[in-house]
């Protein structure tokens, strides 16, 4: 899919899109004019309309009512505010689920998921698709010549709520998908290891979704079902997008992904990114000490999914959400800082859920740009300040995030496979990935995040953290990469199995074993609150590899010094480095502590003699355009101010105090330098 970015109807190109979800249908018309006045005051220039408006647009089957929507679109257009028009297909109306209950999904126990919430539909239901695509076509036909519509917004957060359906429709779709993937039952039985537990399939109709059963489900079946579920939603997205592209070829199409922490079982975003005209993402901050670092990582991942093209932050929150066990609010300055984290990582659009806080409904206590407290609230005032900030930063529009010196591989297949269980329940793929990404941040570098099938050979260093599933092609690419001078870093739990989750025999990590020059005989789980001590003063937790052999040219960076839990590990190499061709390949066989992991990255990967300073040192991200460079500097500390020199012209600053030649950055502080 060719990259296309939404255009302003006045053809201006020097603006950052700024706004959020707008639900005027929840309010009487006299409120709309007040909304628009306050949007203009805050410099809002785009809003998303119609996400959950199916029941209003089509109140009865085949009866379409656009009058109310036309009225608000026209008001917005006259006020200079563009529209990101949703196709309204996210949630079917009650008349549809009442007439066709067969569109409702089923859980793994065969129980129906009833109406009353949202997104209660089967991705494989032809009945649902017929109704949804009819609505999509009606929307496209109605608004194809409307100058206010800058972008199409397909459905909403596909995969957030209805990622897994175990119905008969899903069973039929799963069989079709498997036939396309494997071709014949012999190949499928080989992939699924049919002889194990007498699970040989002799007829395609014997295949069902992995519904609840005794003793655990075949791991490869589970993995394929997750792949299938992602692909079915992608197929559905493409069906809507095809209609929109046909009817409105000049309007770009997107949908809001949910990268990283906020989605339980996501779609494969790297695969999806190739089918979006421009990438959009929803991100909701973590209300704990991981907050900023996870946000930086998530935004870097979206940049990778967007292949470094500008992308859209479609949703984030102004303060607390309403769906966590404890909903902590943001601190002063964090609305601006969080928005600029995404801008620094390539977002040329900053949007929130939602514009006006609902007075009733399931999300009435979810924060908004205009909260219940109204125009005089601290939140709205900070939103206005953000609008001014984005106006000052319009020079950066169209620039790209500078390539990092290191690429870190993120792999959905490995995440999904690890969810099936391996070695220890203390292990969580996302937590382990974040641990190593944060170690790189602590070493003073913002890493790029790419998929294992993307192009990573042009980076100085590439890291495969806990990348469990690796095929022979990636293995060969890694060998050529290191042989040609690259630096490869592999951690515990990586390269163990092929894409069918068949273990490479002969010793772990089979896919990388010959490059690394290490042979792991067995994994050793480290119990909760226990650690192993290493010969150089480091410590490890959760997982330790029993490395029984190393190549003669391997340098041992650290041995296991002592562990009370597993005496056989004592004296074993655990962190190694090996010259290979013109490059080197390093292996880390345990989860190093945060400080030790950062020291390993800083010294052994980047060759620096001293650690950068962890979260008490500034985090720097650059966007570049030609010979121009825009540097975003953030204070990562949640409690301490830091001081940095004035390096260039200050384009914008928030939560900072100016001195003669330095800037004091308070917690949540950010400054942007321009040439």
Catalytic annotation, residues: 157, 315
Q: How far is CA 11 from the centre of its chain?
A: 31
61: tokens are 């089957």
Contact 120, 92 (CB under 8 A): yes
Q: Which two tokens stand for residue 66?
A: 């656009």
- C-alpha span between 281 and 291 (Å, rounded): 17
Sign of the Cα torsion 655, 657, 663, 665 reads negative
Classify strands 532-534 and 539-550 as parallel, antiparallel or unpaired: antiparallel
Q: Is the C-alpha dihedral spanning 545, 547, 552, 556 positive or negative?
A: positive
C-beta of residue 642 within 8 angstroms of C-beta of residue 618: yes
Which residues are bridge partners to 559 per DSSP? 573
Backbone angles phi, psi at 27, to 5 degrees: -130, 150
Pairing mode of beta strands 662-674, 628-634: antiparallel
As beta bridge partners, residue 665 has: 642, 656
Q: Is the dihedral of CA 4, 348, 273, 472 positive or negative?
A: positive
- Give the span between the Cα atoms of 330 and 334, in whole angstroms: 6
How far apart CA 411 and CA 227 sit, in angstroms, is 12
Quote the distance between the C-alpha of residue 465 and its chain's center. 16
E strands, 270-414, are: 280-282, 311-315, 347-352, 400-401, 406-409
Distance CA 499, CA 468 (A): 9
Rounded CA Rg of the chain: 26
Cα torsion through 107, 111, 112, 115, rounded to 10: -80
Q: Looking at 526-641, which runs of residues are DSSP E strands?
A: 532-534, 539-550, 555-562, 573-580, 583-588, 590-592, 619-625, 628-634
How far is it, in rounded angstroms, from Cα 44 to Cα 387?
7
Tally of helices (H runs) and strands (E runs) in the chain: 17, 26
The C-alpha atoms of residue 560 and residue 582 are separated, in whole angstroms, by: 29
């Amino acid at each position: 899919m060719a990259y296309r970015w939404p255009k302003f109807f006045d053809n201006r190109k020097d603006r950052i899109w700024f706004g959020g979800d707008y639900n005027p249908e929840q309010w009487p018309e006299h409120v709309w004019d007040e909304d628009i006045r306050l949007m203009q005051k805050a410099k809002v220039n785009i809003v998303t309309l119609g996400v959950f408006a199916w029941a209003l647009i089509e109140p009865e089957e085949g009866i379409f009512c656009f009058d109310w929507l036309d009225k608000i679109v026209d008001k917005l257009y006259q006020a200079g505010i563009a529209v990101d028009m949703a196709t309204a297909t996210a949630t079917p109306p009650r008349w549809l689920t009442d007439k066709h209950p067969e569109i409702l999904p089923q859980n793994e126990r065969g129980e129906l998921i009833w109406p009353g919430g949202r997104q209660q539909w089967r991705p494989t239901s032809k009945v649902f698709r017929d109704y949804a695509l009819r609505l999509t076509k009606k929307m496209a036909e109605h608004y194809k010549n409307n100058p206010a519509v800058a972008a199409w917004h397909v459905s909403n957060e596909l995969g957030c709520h209805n990622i897994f359906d175990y119905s008969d429709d899903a069973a039929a779709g799963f069989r079709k998908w498997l036939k396309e993937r494997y071709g014949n039952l012999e190949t499928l039985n080989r992939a699924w290891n049919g002889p194990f537990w007498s699970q040989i399939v002799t007829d395609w109709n014997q295949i069902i979704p992995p519904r609840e059963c005794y003793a655990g489900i075949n791991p490869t079946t589970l993995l394929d079902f997750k792949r299938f579920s992602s692909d079915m939603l992608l197929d559905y997205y493409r069906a809507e997008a095809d209609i929109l592209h046909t009817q409105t070829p000049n309007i770009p199409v997107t949908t809001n992904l949910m990268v990283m922490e906020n989605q339980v079982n996501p779609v494969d975003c790297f695969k999806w990114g190739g089918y979006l005209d421009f990438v959009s993402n929803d991100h909701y901050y973590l209300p704990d000490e991981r907050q900023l670092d996870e946000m930086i990582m998530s935004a870097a991942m979206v940049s990778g999914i967007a292949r470094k093209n500008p992308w859209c932050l479609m949703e984030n929150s102004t303060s607390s959400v309403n769906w966590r066990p404890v909903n902590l609010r943001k601190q002063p300055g964090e609305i601006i800082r969080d928005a600029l984290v995404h801008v620094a990582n390539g977002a040329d659009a900053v949007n929130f859920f939602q514009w006006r806080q609902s007075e009733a409904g399931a999300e009435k206590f979810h924060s908004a740009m205009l909260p219940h407290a109204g125009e005089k609230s601290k939140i709205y005032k900070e939103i206005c300040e953000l609008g001014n900030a984005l106006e000052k930063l319009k020079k950066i529009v169209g620039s790209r995030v500078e390539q990092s010196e290191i690429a870190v591989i993120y792999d959905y297949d490995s995440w999904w496979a690890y969810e099936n269980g391996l070695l220890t329940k203390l292990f969580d793929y996302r937590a382990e990935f974040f641990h190593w990404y944060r170690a790189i941040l602590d070493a003073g570098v913002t890493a790029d995040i790419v998929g294992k099938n993307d192009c990573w050979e042009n980076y100085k260093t590439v890291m495969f953290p806990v990348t469990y599933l690796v095929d022979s092609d990636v293995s060969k690419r890694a060998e050529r990469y290191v042989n040609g001078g690259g630096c490869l870093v592999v951690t515990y739990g990586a390269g163990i199995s092929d894409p069918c989750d068949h273990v490479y025999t002969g010793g772990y990590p089979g896919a990388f074993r010959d490059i690394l020059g290490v042979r792991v005989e067995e994994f050793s789980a480290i119990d909760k609150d226990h650690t192993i001590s290493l010969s150089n003063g480091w410590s490890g937790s959760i997982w330790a590899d029993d490395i029984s052999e190393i190549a003669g040219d391997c340098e041992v960076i650290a041995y296991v010094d002592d562990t009370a839990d597993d005496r056989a590990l004592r004296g074993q190499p655990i962190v190694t480095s090996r010259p290979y061709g013109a490059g080197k390949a390093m292996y880390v066989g345990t989860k190093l502590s945060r400080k030790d992991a950062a020291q390993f990255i800083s010294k052994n990967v980047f060759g620096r003699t001293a650690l950068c300073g962890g979260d008490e040192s500034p985090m720097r991200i650059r966007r570049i355009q030609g010979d121009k460079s825009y540097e975003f500097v953030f204070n990562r500390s949640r409690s301490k101010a830091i001081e940095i020199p004035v390096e260039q012209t200050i384009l914008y600053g928030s939560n900072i105090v100016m001195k003669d030649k330095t800037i004091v950055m308070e917690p949540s502080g950010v400054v942007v330098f321009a040439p």
